[in-house]
């Protein structure tokens, strides 16, 4: 199914091998390179910001040539500073911290670590990488449009981000490109997480029970579930923001705004609505960045300590607890935002409580070091450094979690120190630990250890020099996001800012050691054996680098948990993988394995995929309809109108189509078709379903046009905006369903349709019907 044989002997062309590869290992490497590009740009931007903060009048050579309007004669203008800041945050959060630990390492190692030859949906995987790349290009292109990149920060609070170029340079095309880029990124992340979740569910090899999965796989799995929920809320939020900008709607823009001496034509929108939607995504995003790093660090530490953790279950359950808790505390970003002050107390509690699972994990890491046989390598140094940095960034959370202290510390450098240490530096240390640990597996060559250690020392000490002082600045009341410190009180803090700038330049430059090591070792490093670290999990049982078919088509089976270190005997460890010989005989004796280790023709996989998609879609509609209810509750401008009668007719049609489809599904034989007669009912019913579906879609379009002709347009009022929006969003689902149905019908006519495909499709179609009934009832209640 991947365009090559499972033994990997077939020659693949350049395009298939490097650009449009379906091999999860190549896609992992592509993600790694993409985030490497993003981090380079992000670091250079942070340098420019730091230089400007320390020496505002300094002319930076070459910068004037790069951006003559943003930095005339190389001196950074206030708006250019904000553009750099927005780009730095966006690149780092989305394209580095979300991609490298999850998409890059996860793609490469998740299938291998569970004994699978492939991801569940290789084509989808290819697609998600390319969509991510497009998002990256769109974002970078905003640097070059008139007005430059967005200046509203990575949080893009409206109305600043919603009213267009009138609010300032960068708020025109730059801001639009920013939102479009993030929306595209959401789509890619959703596709990616569907793939990760389905792979973990369905492609585990024989004996790979949930509790036998490596810590990394657990972390990627939990993170993917979080990604699915978080990005399916950010996507509609971006959509609403785009509509406010281009379609004249007022989801986030209130009435009576006077910007640049012009009264704005909007009314009734709620800026806080965006903040709620954004932080519902934004806070889990912090854990999306850090959880994979926690998994990697646990994985690396156990191989370095030569012992398992004191308790695996405690770490896994704590990670799950963090995953859940991270969805109920987004409001701690909004203590001073103007939301109801009682809700601050409500959000404060889970924020404090989430420190408990984090503390459990940290204590288990530290406690496991006791009595271990720790081996110091570049990888283990970064893992140990991770623990230190995670603690240093974490403890300041105690202050920020309390609303009354946050009123003082909010939007100061204290917050900058907090999130850089716990989210930025810690996650980056996790990425470095993973890179030094897995590089031999990925390339077949060892990285240079002395250089790796040098890199660690410079980065470790440098990071503390940069980010610890931020805490002091914050306590002194130094406000963040200011491109210059004009007030007299802040002048006394300038020496600290200059110190930070020097440290940032030094630490950034130290990364050249890493880059050199990476490039040099890739090409000329010492050859690595299959298992250079004497580690136990499945990836260390296959050659370095792995062949195109990771396990060479062999049946993989495991019979123990992945971290058998500290065993008495000549070797102090046991591989997780059961020897091939034993596996062969075991398989023959046992019943067929419950889980397959490669995506066979079994379509239960696509059914899993559809279920996960449904979860995402439910979140999207939950976000849209809760936005509708919030908007309805707060608005003075809600106008009621009569829903077109056609909608009810359409509804009946859609319900009928589902019923007919159900008849087709039930009539279809479980196993292969024996003759054309078997499929007669199915053919008829499916054709009717297709017809009904198409008429439904046409009817929805007609209802839309009917309202339109009555003079009710998208931007006329919040009720019509939501009406059109929900109709459109549901219509897209139906359209996709119709295309899928055409394919199913075509397969049926070629007598190649099998029951699981039909069932998968039926699941999807019934979901669109249920979704419409939900949408219609919401519309009936509110409009």
Residue found by looking up tokens 């007030």 in the block: 487
For residue 239, the minimal CB distance to other proteins (Å) is 21
DSSP state letter for 548: S
Q: Does position 364 bind other proteins by CB under 8 A? A: yes
Residue 665, token pair as written in the block = 């599904």
Site for other proteins in 410-449 (CB under 8 A): 410-412
Residue found by looking up tokens 């940290």 in the block: 362
DSSP calls for 613-678: HHHHHHHHHHHHHHHHHHHHHH-S-----PPPTHHHHHHHHHHHHHHHHHHHHHHS-SS---SGGG
Site for other proteins in 484-513 (CB under 8 A): 484-487, 489
Which one of 224-232, 262-270, 695-703, 719-727 is the stretch in contact with other proteins (CB under 8 A)?
262-270
Dihedral sign computed on CA atoms, order 559, 565, 569, 571: positive
Q: Does position 663 bind other proteins by CB under 8 A? A: no
Site for other proteins in 329-348 (CB under 8 A): 336-338, 341-342, 344-345, 348
Binding string, 4-33, against other proteins, x = CB under 8 A? ------------------------------
Q: Does position 744 bind other proteins by CB under 8 A? A: no
Residue nearer to other proteins on the CB measure, 111 or 295 = 295
Query: Do 276 and 626 contact (CB within 8 A), yes or no?
Result: no
Residue nearer to other proteins on the CB measure, 468 or 630 = 468
Among 475, 614, 622, 694, binds other proteins (CB under 8 A): 475
Among 349, 629, 739, 781, binds other proteins (CB under 8 A): 349
Query: Do 459 and 511 contact (CB within 8 A), yes or no?
Result: yes
DSSP state letter for 565: E
Q: Does position 146 bind other proteins by CB under 8 A? A: no
Residue nearer to other proteins on the CB measure, 204 or 307 = 307
Which one of 153-161, 206-214, 578-586, 684-692 is the stretch in contact with other proteins (CB under 8 A)?
153-161
| CB-count exposure of residue 560 (10 Å: 0-12, 13-18, 19+) | middle
Query: Do 326 and 226 contact (CB within 8 A), yes or no?
Result: yes
For residue 382, the minimal CB distance to other proteins (Å) is 11
Q: Does position 311 bind other proteins by CB under 8 A? A: yes
For residue 43, the minimal CB distance to other proteins (Å) is 22
Query: Do 169 and 82 contact (CB within 8 A), yes or no?
Result: no
Residue nearer to other proteins on the CB measure, 408 or 743 = 408
Site for other proteins in 208-237 (CB under 8 A): none
Provide the 10 A C-beta neighbour count for residue 434: 28
Residue nearer to other proteins on the CB measure, 365 or 772 = 365
DSSP state letter for 138: H
Closest to 646 measured CA to CA, from 695, 693, 688: 695
Q: Does position 642 bind other proteins by CB under 8 A? A: no
Q: Does position 524 bind other proteins by CB under 8 A? A: no
Residue nearer to other proteins on the CB measure, 366 or 705 = 366
Q: How many Å separate Cα 743 from the centre of its chain?
A: 31
Question: Any bridge partners for residue 641, and if so which?
Answer: none
Residues touching other proteins: how many (CB under 8 A)? 109
Closest to 645 measured CA to CA, from 703, 697, 731: 703
Is-cis flag, bond preceding 545, omega within 30? Answer: yes
Q: Does position 82 bind other proteins by CB under 8 A? A: yes
Query: Do 101 and 386 contact (CB within 8 A), yes or no?
Result: no
Q: How many Å separate Cα 765 from the centre of its chain?
A: 27
Q: Does position 564 bind other proteins by CB under 8 A? A: no
For residue 234, the minimal CB distance to other proteins (Å) is 19
Residue nearer to other proteins on the CB measure, 187 or 360 = 360
Among 165, 479, 646, 695, binds other proteins (CB under 8 A): 479
For residue 428, the minimal CB distance to other proteins (Å) is 17
Provide the 10 A C-beta neighbour count for residue 338: 10
Q: Does position 630 bind other proteins by CB under 8 A? A: no
For residue 89, the minimal CB distance to other proteins (Å) is 11
For residue 341, the minimal CB distance to other proteins (Å) is 4
For residue 164, the minimal CB distance to other proteins (Å) is 12
254: helix, strand or coil: coil
For residue 471, the minimal CB distance to other proteins (Å) is 8
Among 167, 173, 208, 291, binds other proteins (CB under 8 A): 167
Residue nearer to other proteins on the CB measure, 357 or 699 = 357
Site for other proteins in 265-284 (CB under 8 A): 268-272
- Tell me how far apart the alpha carbons of residues 685 and 107 are, in angstroms, rounded to a whole number: 40
Closest to 385 measured CA to CA, from 460, 299, 438, 458: 460
- Tell me how far apart the alpha carbons of residues 50 and 45 are, in angstroms, rounded to a whole number: 9
Q: Does position 160 bind other proteins by CB under 8 A? A: yes
Site for other proteins in 370-409 (CB under 8 A): 370-376, 381, 384, 387-388, 391-392, 395-396, 398-399, 401-405, 407-408
Residue 169, CA atoms < 13 Å, CB-side half-sphere: 17
Binding string, 280-309, against other proteins, x = CB under 8 A? -------------------------xxx--
Helices 604-634 and 755-782 pack at an angle, to 10 degrees, of: 0
Among 60, 242, 314, 646, binds other proteins (CB under 8 A): 314
Among 181, 483, 550, 689, binds other proteins (CB under 8 A): 483
Residue nearer to other proteins on the CB measure, 367 or 698 = 367
Residue 348, token pair as written in the block = 């404060």
Q: Does position 561 bind other proteins by CB under 8 A? A: no
HEC string of 709-756 equals HCCCCCCCCHHHHHHHHHHHHHHHHHHHHHHHHHHHHHHHHCCCCCHH
For residue 721, the minimal CB distance to other proteins (Å) is 16
Q: Does position 356 bind other proteins by CB under 8 A? A: yes
- Tell me how far apart the alpha carbons of residues 652 and 560 are, in angstroms, rounded to a whole number: 54
Q: Does position 157 bind other proteins by CB under 8 A? A: yes
Query: Do 687 and 769 contact (CB within 8 A), yes or no?
Result: no
Q: Does position 468 bind other proteins by CB under 8 A? A: yes
Q: Does position 153 bind other proteins by CB under 8 A? A: yes
Query: Do 230 and 283 contact (CB within 8 A), yes or no?
Result: no
Q: Does position 360 bind other proteins by CB under 8 A? A: yes
Residue 676, token pair as written in the block = 């054309």
Phi, psi angles (nearest 5°) of residue 557: -145, 150
């Amino acid at each position: 199914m991947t365009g090559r044989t499972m033994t990997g002997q077939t020659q693949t062309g350049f395009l298939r091998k490097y650009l449009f590869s379906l091999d999860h290992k190549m896609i992992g490497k592509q993600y790694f390179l993409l985030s490497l590009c993003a981090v380079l740009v992000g670091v250079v931007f942070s340098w420019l910001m730091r230089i400007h903060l320390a020496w505002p009048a300094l002319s930076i050579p070459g910068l004037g040539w790069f951006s003559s309007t943003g930095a005339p004669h190389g001196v950074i203008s206030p708006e250019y500073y904000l553009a750099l800041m927005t780009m730095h945050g966006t690149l780092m959060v989305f394209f580095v911290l979300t991609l490298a630990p999850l998409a890059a390492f996860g793609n490469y190692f998740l299938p291998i670590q569970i004994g699978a030859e492939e991801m569940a949906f290789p084509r989808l995987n290819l697609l998600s990488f390319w969509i991510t790349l497009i998002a990256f290009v769109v974002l970078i292109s905003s640097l070059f449009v008139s007005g430059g990149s967005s200046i509203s920060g990575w949080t893009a609070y409206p109305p600043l981000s919603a009213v267009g170029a009138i609010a300032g340079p960068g708020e025109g095309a730059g801001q639009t490109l920013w939102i479009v880029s993030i929306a595209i990124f959401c789509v890619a992340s959703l596709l990616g997480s569907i793939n990760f979740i389905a792979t973990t569910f369905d492609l585990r090899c024989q004996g790979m029970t949930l509790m036998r999965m490596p810590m990394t796989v657990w972390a990627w799995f939990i993170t993917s579930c979080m990604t699915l929920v978080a990005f399916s809320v950010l996507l509609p939020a971006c959509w609403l923001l785009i509509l406010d900008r281009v379609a004249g709607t007022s989801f986030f823009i209130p009435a009576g705004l006077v910007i640049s001496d012009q009264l704005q034509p909007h009314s009734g929108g709620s800026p806080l609505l965006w903040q709620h939607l954004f932080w519902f995504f934004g806070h889990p995003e912090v854990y999306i960045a850090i959880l994979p790093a926690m998994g990697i660090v646990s994985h690396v530490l156990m191989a370095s300590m030569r012992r398992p953790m004191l308790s695996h279950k405690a770490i896994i359950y704590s990670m799950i607890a963090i995953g859940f808790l991270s969805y109920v505390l987004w409001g701690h970003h909004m203590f001073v935002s103007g939301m109801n002050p009682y809700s601050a107390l409500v959000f404060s509690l889970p924020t404090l409580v989430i420190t408990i699972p984090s503390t459990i994990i940290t204590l288990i890491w530290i406690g496991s070091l006791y009595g271990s046989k720790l081996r110091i390598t570049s990888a283990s140094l970064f893992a140990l450094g991770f623990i230190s940095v995670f603690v240093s960034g974490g403890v300041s959370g105690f202050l920020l979690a309390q609303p009354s202290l946050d009123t003082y510390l909010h939007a100061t450098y204290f917050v900058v120190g907090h999130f850089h240490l716990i989210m930025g530096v810690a996650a980056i240390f996790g990425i470095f630990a993973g890179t030094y640990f897995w590089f031999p597996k990925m390339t077949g060559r060892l990285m240079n250890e002395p250089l790796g250690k040098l890199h660690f020392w410079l980065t470790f000490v440098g990071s503390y020099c940069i980010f610890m002082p931020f805490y002091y600045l914050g306590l002194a009341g130094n406000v963040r996001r200011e491109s210059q410190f004009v007030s007299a009180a802040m002048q006394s803090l300038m020496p600290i800012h200059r110190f930070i700038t020097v440290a940032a330049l030094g630490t950034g430059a130290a990364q050249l050691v890493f880059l050199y090591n990476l490039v040099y070792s890739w090409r000329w490093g010492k050859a690595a054996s299959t298992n250079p670290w004497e580690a136990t999990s499945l990836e260390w049982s296959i050659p370095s680098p792995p062949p195109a078919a990771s396990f060479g088509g062999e049946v993989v089976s495991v019979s123990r948990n992945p971290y058998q270190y500290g065993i008495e005997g000549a070797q102090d460890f046991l591989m997780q993988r059961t020897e091939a010989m034993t596996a062969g005989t075991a398989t023959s004796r046992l019943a067929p394995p419950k889980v397959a280790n490669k995506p066979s023709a079994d379509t239960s996989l696509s059914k899993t995929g559809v279920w996960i998609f449904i979860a995402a879609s439910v979140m999207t509609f939950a976000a849209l309809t809760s936005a509708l209810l919030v908007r309805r509750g707060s608005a003075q401008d809600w106008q009621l109108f009569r829903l077109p009668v056609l909608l009810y007719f359409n509804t009946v049609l859609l319900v009928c189509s589902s019923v007919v489809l159900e008849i087709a599904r039930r009539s279809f034989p479980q196993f292969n078709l024996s003759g054309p007669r078997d499929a007669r009912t199915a053919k008829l019913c499916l054709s009717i379903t297709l017809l009904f579906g198409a008429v439904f879609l046409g009817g929805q379009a007609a209802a839309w046009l009917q309202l339109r002709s009555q003079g009710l347009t998208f931007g006329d009022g919040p009720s019509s905006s939501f009406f059109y929006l929900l109709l459109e969003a549901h219509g897209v689902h139906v359209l996709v369903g119709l295309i899928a149905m055409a394919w199913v019908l075509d397969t049926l006519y070629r007598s190649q349709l099998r029951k699981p495909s039909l069932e998968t499709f039926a699941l999807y179609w019934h979901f669109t019907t249920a979704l419409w009934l939900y949408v219609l009832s919401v519309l009936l209640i509110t409009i």
